[in-house]
Copies of this chain bind each other. A is one copy, B any other.
Amino acid sequence: MARSQFGPINPRAPFIWHGGDYNPEQWPPETWDTDVALMQQSHFNVATVGVFSWISLQPEEDRFTFEWLDTILDKLHASGRAVCLATPTAAQPAWMSQRYPDVLRAGDSGQRNHHGARVNFCPNSPNYRRLAVNMATRLAERYGRHPALLIWHVANEYGGACFCQTCAAAFRGWLQQKYGSLGELNARWWTPFWGHTYTDWQQIEPPYANGERLTHGLTIDYRRFQSDSMLECFKLERDALRAITPDLPITTNLMGTYPHLDYRAWAKELDVVSIAFLHDLNRGLKDGRPFILMEQTPSSQNWQPVNALKRPGVLRLWSYLALAHGADTVMYFQWRRGRGGCEKFHGAVVEHGGRSDTRVFREVSTLGAELASLGATMLGATTPARVAILFDWNNWWALDAAIGPIQDKAYVATVRKHYQALWRRNVPVDVVFSDSDLSGYDMLIAPLLHMVKPGLAERIEALVARGGTFVTTYFSGVVDETDLAFEGYPGPLSKVLGMRVEEIDALYDGQINHIVMADGSGSYTCARLCDIIHSEGAHVYATYGDDFYAGTPAVTENHFGDGWAYYLASDPEESFLDTFYKRLLAAYAITPLLTTPPGVEVTLRQTERQDLLFILNHNPAEATIGLPAGARYADRLRGQEISGNLRLAGYDVRILALARAP
């Protein structure tokens, strides 16, 4: 989907931002000049300051100590660095918890936490909100016109949930707003089950661990409510900043409105493909607008069971991976390792020794210089995709809550499995959401679309009717947005899919069935869940090979309007997806950007004038890629022209530019 190029994040800084988190308040002022000098040496040009600094800026309710921050901003500016200034509101000061206990979050039994950790505030606490907005206002007043300031960063990694009485009361209000009447709420939450009908709003409580956890409409709504509550905190600060500095961009990490808990849960299973997917998802959150890569580690993490170092070259490779998928920045957590605190063994540009003669510092500096050499050319470049894959947090929550037919629904893994089949083919993909504009896509893939929100089925029908392709899987079309089962699956997707589900069989670990292609082209294994389905007009594309439902449909293909809709009734092996998507893409003449050996990825970013092909070798060994016969590219990183065979060292990256026909 071709778009015109976006502008830079801040027109005053028209280059790829290279920087990261800097917490000078943890060190004595003597260190600061050293830091700035080392930043200059390493082309670290945007420092994120202020994260968690509340107590350093406001040691008492009526006393403010901005002087050290003044000094830092001035020093950074004097040396040509710019600043991403964070509001410090992700960790309230101890005096605030002491004076206003309502700012403390409560755990899932309803008991108030003690002060400590971070993101330990109640998002509905009036005192927290008042004091946070006040701090944001003062920061905007004091620094809004500082020449170093490029962007605001609000708080940090919103997430988790609070179960206090303030939240309980606010939740009731939120529900009244949403459902209007108790009768409607009881109906949508199916409360007559186990006699859970509410007869008074006051009876509704948060889903306490020792309370009501089994009314899934409630548990899902509480997650939405908490997400909304934190978004409200963000908005209150954002509006306070915007009122004073209307021209400055405002962000939080991740950008967007989704709680970072999601991001964190994903991070546990990070590999190259999932990083690629995550970048595509970040880009999708703002419908294709380039995103800010806010915090990557320059060397290792510390919170995993085993924290291996990034191998030489991998920091550079993964930085370009982000740029290749739509980032306009390369930023690190963290500039300098703290001497204490629970992240003191997290990787940093500057290690405890404070030295610049380290491998990591050298890699960061070299990369910084290289990024600087790229200038502004690719800023705001778009990443055109004709294929979209749908991801939805509410759907994830509903799958997580569902008891049966199999415990581990593996939503994220399943979405990634489909994504990966396209990634292996070097086909650009957008990650979209239930409310995204689907009008620009030829193909929409929605694995495990268990919850179908109002209007989505109609928009899918429109996509297919105009000649597009829709793919979904087993256990889709099962519940509506309040987790109420449709009376027959796949619910509102039945029309476009032309089939229905009768039963769902669950397979034990190690147990398989087979998908036998109707055209005689072979068979594939499948596992986990097998929907037993009936065609209601759809062509039977493949059947099951085994068990009492052998011979019944396993994959259906429905011609609807000018397009096609597919239902994969089970979870197939990867080679099925390779073949399946190859066929589907061929129908739209969607071809790989380049054909590459395994582990070599190609992505495309488009500016108004040229196509930029990112070629990334994720293998430690050299790889050779044949460029299209006759095509001549400008190698942006080496400044030379290139054609024919491209040899790429292990972990190496190229950016090949091709002028666009106007």
Contact = CB atoms under 8 A, between A and B. Distances in A.
Given A55-B195, A195-B93, A342 B205 contact: no
Given A118-B194, A484-B340, A210 B300 contact: no
Shortest beta-carbon contacts, A-B, top 3: A190-B340, A302-B404, A116-B212
A353 B488 contact: yes
Interface in A182-202: 188-200, 202
Interface string A395-413: 0000000111111100000
Contacts of A113: 210-211
A217 interface: yes
Contact of A505 (B192, B213, B308): B308
A435 B346 CA distance: 31
Contacts of A26: 190, 192-193
A213 B352 contact: no
A337 B489 CA distance: 13
Given A111-B210, A341-B215, A487-B354, A195 B406 contact: no
Most B-side CB within 10 Å, residue of A56, A59, A192, A202: A192
A546 interface: no
A303 B404 contact: yes
Interface in A273-312: 299-309, 311-312
Most B-side CB within 10 Å, residue of A25, A200, A304, A306: A306
Given A192-B23, A338-B193, A485-B352, A117 B212 contact: yes
A358 B503 contact: yes
A342 to B, nearest CB: 4
Contacts of A196: 55, 91, 94, 116, 341
A136 to B, nearest CB: 15
A118 B191 CA distance: 12
A391 B205 CA distance: 42
Contacts of A339: 190, 484-485, 487
Contacts of A195: 52-56, 88, 91-93, 118
Contacts of A484: 339-340
B340 A189 contact: yes
A486 B352 CA distance: 7
A341 B483 CA distance: 9
A403 B303 contact: yes
Interface stretch (A230-238, A258-266, A506-514, A515-523): A506-514
A240 interface: no
5 contacts: A97-B203, A98-B202, A189-B340, A190-B338, A309-B506
A216 interface: yes
A312 B503 CA distance: 12
Contacts of A403: 302-303, 342-343, 345
Interface in A461-502: 482-489, 500, 502
A353 B486 CA distance: 8
Contacts of A116: 196, 205, 207-208, 211-215
A393 interface: no
Given A115-B211, A300-B404, A193 B488 contact: no
Q: How many copies does the complex hold?
A: 3
A507 B306 contact: yes
Interface of A is mostly: loop
A114 B118 contact: no
A14 interface: no
Given A202-B98, A405-B300, A110 B114 contact: yes
Given A94-B196, A194-B91, A301-B404, A352 B488 contact: yes
Contacts of A305: 406-408
Interface in A332-391: 337-346, 351-355, 358-360
Contacts of A304: 407
B199 A342 contact: no
A109 interface: yes
A458 interface: no
A113 B207 CA distance: 12
Contacts of A216: 340-342
Interface size grouping (class) on chain A: 35 or more
B95 A308 contact: no
Nearest to A210: B113
A651 to B, nearest CB: 11
A340 B187 CA distance: 9
Contacts of A507: 306, 308
Given A114-B208, A312-B548, A339-B485, A306 B503 contact: no
A622 interface: no
A107 interface: yes
Contacts of A562: none
Nearest to A354: B487
A126 B54 CA distance: 39
Given A195-B91, A488-B353, A306 B508 contact: yes
Interface in A121-144: none
Contacts of A70: none
A247 interface: no
A33 interface: no
A223 B190 CA distance: 34
A641 interface: no
B303 A114 contact: no
A358 B484 CA distance: 22
A199 B352 contact: no
Contacts of A93: 195, 197, 199
Nearest to A190: B340
A371 to B, nearest CB: 23
A573 interface: no
A299 B505 CA distance: 10
Contacts of A487: 339, 352-354
Contacts of A355: 488, 502
A462 to B, nearest CB: 26
Contact of A489 (B88, B352, B406): B352
